[in-house]
Structure 1
């Protein structure tokens, strides 16, 4: 896993990149949150390909637990990728609702995520 730091408007943004899965479990998500929180990042960007597909099946509860912690610690998270491959009306509604707020967002590209 590589953490690439971006600074925009005096905000320190961590972009997580890897050739492997970074978040397989809730614990992986919480470990990542803790690591980045204590490194004083202001927000996090992670690629959808680095998150287990089970995250995007809302019935598993993985997304809810991880995203709740990011929101509690006030560490905004942007997940970037193509989410159209997940054929779930509830996920689509969740993404639309999340994108209205500031803590959890889903975007198509790193450029769009950094603008956000």
Structure 2
């Protein structure tokens, strides 16, 4: 499956292929943001596509990537189970809680949870 724009819960979402290239640079994030100009409001990125530095907050990589999405007013959904990572990192757990309480970046376990979140946000 290639990255594809899907209508999910009444919202256009760029659903990224789990087997696609890793997001390892800010330019990779900008490329995904650019792909939304074809009509998507949200980018759903599987955990498997994110460089491990994203989940190590000391690298600041997560902040840089998330800020790009906020700056361009494109919502980001990180899709996948990160419970082991949040259990090991109170700072990451706090970031996930704070992000999920806001409207630009969400961490969801699967696409069904993203659909539920989109319905509540509508």
TM-score, normalised to structure 1, is: 0.89
SS of alignment partner, residue 15 of structure 2:
strand
Give 3-state SS (helix, strand or coil) of 2:93's partner. helix
Determine which structure has the larger helix proportion and give its number. 2
User: What are the superposed Cα offsets for residues 28-85 of structure 1, whole Å, 9 maximum, x if unpaired?
Assistant: 112221222x222111111001111111111111111110110111111110111122
Gaps of 5+ in 1: none
Q: Does 1:96 align with 2:97?
A: yes
Question: Does the CA-based 8 Å contact 2:16-2:43 persist in structure 1?
Answer: yes
Partner of 2:81: 82
Which stretches of structure 1, 4 residues or more, deviate above 6 A after TM superposition? none
CA distance in 2 between counterparts of 1:21 and 1:58 reads: 21
Counting matched residue pairs gives 115
**2-structure distance, mates of 1:114, 1:60:** 30
Unaligned runs of 5+ in 2: 118-122
TM-score by length of 2: 0.85
Are the counterparts in 2 of residues 79 and 105 from structure 1 also a CA contact under 8 Å? Answer: yes
1:105 deviates by 0.3
